[in-house]
């Protein structure tokens, strides 16, 4: 491919964030909700010692494409598989021919590392460039790429006035204005049993994560070193619920700016784990989290719908189930990503 060079990334991620904003804002801004990356988060999550795959395409000195992936373990039908969690696939619209070579290089990287497959999420808007690209890709390579299921999320409006301005759909803006005072409410405030995570909690947190994910299909594995990095990382907010000197639950989240009609600051729950916590305790814990995040300046909190999330407590804590879903896609490296 004349004039284009694909290579492993060795930067501070500021230019990858700039590329993402440069490409995604004109394409998606004001049309569909889209998460936007932060350089500090990428630097911490994709350090060389994690084994992350960070591929970029340059035309001369200009960055024109990127794709990022983090190695993880995933249990499917009782078997653990090495997988890559893929994100940040971005190509300058004027250099669309870069897309397929980038994906091919990612496929080769997966083969070289013995990765079973890659997995990622696709925007749910059928009119979006992302949805159109991956739908056509699945049609072109049906044995190597497929949509496996649809996912969704829960959302809590900590600042309904911000959502009233940023909402994509008219009903989002109308509902935020009409019932804003109710949407921001939580059953409880701060709870004395909740405190920040400490490094000395790690052993117990490993137990909690293993117990919560046991028996769950498509469950993400958390090796001890990865869990320690997640819970103690500077870009994560991690709280634990403790009674009688024993940690009964943990929640970990990070900042995730969401672009609608305007940019809003949201926190996304990356991990929830528990053992022996009561239903009331879950609601108190989530209420504390929402109050804490609001006081930190977050305008919303998002939690993925999954078997490891406390659904009934999320409802009680006034988190709203979003019915718009996103396809989850897998790539088979033995064929074509």
Q: How confident is the model at residue 13 (pLDDT cuts 50, 70, 90)?
A: very high
Cα→Cα distances 50→79, 146, 226, 282, 300, Å: 22, 27, 8, 32, 29
Q: Which of 35-44, 48-57, 168-177 has the lowest mean pLDDT?
A: 168-177
Give CA angle at 289 (184, 88), nearest 5°.
90
Beta bridge partner(s), residue 85: 70, 119
Phi-psi region of 289 (alpha: psi -120 to 50; beta: other; left: phi over 0): alpha
Extents of the domains making up the chain: 4-151+327-331, 154-323
Mean pLDDT across the stretch 71-84? 91
Superfamily of domain 154-323: Gcn5-related N-acetyltransferase (GNAT) (3.40.630.30)
Q: Average pLDDT over the chain, rounded to whole?
A: 89
Looking at residue 262, its pLDDT comes to 94
Q: How confident is the model at residue 102 (pLDDT cuts 50, 70, 90)?
A: very high
**Buried b vs exposed e over 73-99: b needs ≥16 C-beta within 10 Å?**
ebbeeeeeebbbbbbbbbbbeebeebb
pLDDT > 80? residue 336:
no
Residue whose C-alpha is closest to residue 300's, from 162, 124, 178 = 162
Beta bridge partner(s), residue 269: 253
Q: Which two tokens stand for residue 308?
A: 């490891």
Q: Which helix (H) or strand (E) holds 295?
A: helix 279-295
- Residues 200 and 206: their CA atoms lie apart, in Å, by 11
Phi, psi of 162 (to 5 degrees): -70, -40
Mean pLDDT across the stretch 303-321? 80
Q: E strands, the chain, where?
A: 4-8, 34-35, 53-59, 62-76, 79-91, 117-121, 145-157, 194-196, 219-221, 236-243, 246-259, 263-274, 300-304, 320-331
pLDDT digits (tens, 9 = 90+) for 115-156: 999 999 888 888 888 889 999 999 998 888 888 888 888 888
Percentage of the chain beyond pLDDT 70 is: 92
First to last CA, the chain: 19
Beta bridge partner(s), residue 81: 74
Mean pLDDT across the stretch 78-89? 92
Q: Matching CATH topology for 4-151+327-331 and 154-323?
A: yes
Looking at residue 1, its pLDDT comes to 60
Alpha carbons within 13 angstroms on the beta-carbon side of residue 120 total 22
- Residues 46 and 43: their CA atoms lie apart, in Å, by 6
Domain 4-151+327-331, what architecture?
Answer: 3-Layer(aba) Sandwich (3.40)
Phi, psi of 245 (to 5 degrees): 75, 10
130, 122 contact by CB (below 8 A) = yes
């Amino acid at each position: 491919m004349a004039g284009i060079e694909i290579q492993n990334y060795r930067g501070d991620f500021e230019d990858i964030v700039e590329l993402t904003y440069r490409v995604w804002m004109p394409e998606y801004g004001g049309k569909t909700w889209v998460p936007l990356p932060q350089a500090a988060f990428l630097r911490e999550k994709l350090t060389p010692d994690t084994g992350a795959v960070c591929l970029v395409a340059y035309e001369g000195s200009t960055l024109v494409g990127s794709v990022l992936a983090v190695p993880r373990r995933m249990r499917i039908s009782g078997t653990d598989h090495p997988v890559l969690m893929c994100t940040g696939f971005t190509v300058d619209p004027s250099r669309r021919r870069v897309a397929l070579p980038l994906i091919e290089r990612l496929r080769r990287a997966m083969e070289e590392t013995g990765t079973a497959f890659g997995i990622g999420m696709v925007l749910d808007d059928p009119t979006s460039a992302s949805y159109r690209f991956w739908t056509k890709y699945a049609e072109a390579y049906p044995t190597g790429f497929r949509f496996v299921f649809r996912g969704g999320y829960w959302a809590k409006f900590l600042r309904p006035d911000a959502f009233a301005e940023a909402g994509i759909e008219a009903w989002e803006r109308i509902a935020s204005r009409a019932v804003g005072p109710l949407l921001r409410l939580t059953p409880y405030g701060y709870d004395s049993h909740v405190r920040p995570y400490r490094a000395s909690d790690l052993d117990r947190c490993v137990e909690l994560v293993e117990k919560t994910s046991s028996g769950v299909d498509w469950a993400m594995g958390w090796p001890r070193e990865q869990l320690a990095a997640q819970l103690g990382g500077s870009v994560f907010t991690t709280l634990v619920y403790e009674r009688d000197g024993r940690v009964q639950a943990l929640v970990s989240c990070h900042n995730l700016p969401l672009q609608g009609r305007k940019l809003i600051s949201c926190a996304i729950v990356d991990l929830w784990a528990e053992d022996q916590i009561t239903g009331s305790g879950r609601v108190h814990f989530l209420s504390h989290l929402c109050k804490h995040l609001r006081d930190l300046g977050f305008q919303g909190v998002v939690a993925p719908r999954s078997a490891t999330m406390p659904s009934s407590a999320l409802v009680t804590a006034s988190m709203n189930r979003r019915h718009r879903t996103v396809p989850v896609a897998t790539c088979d490296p033995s064929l074509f990503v």
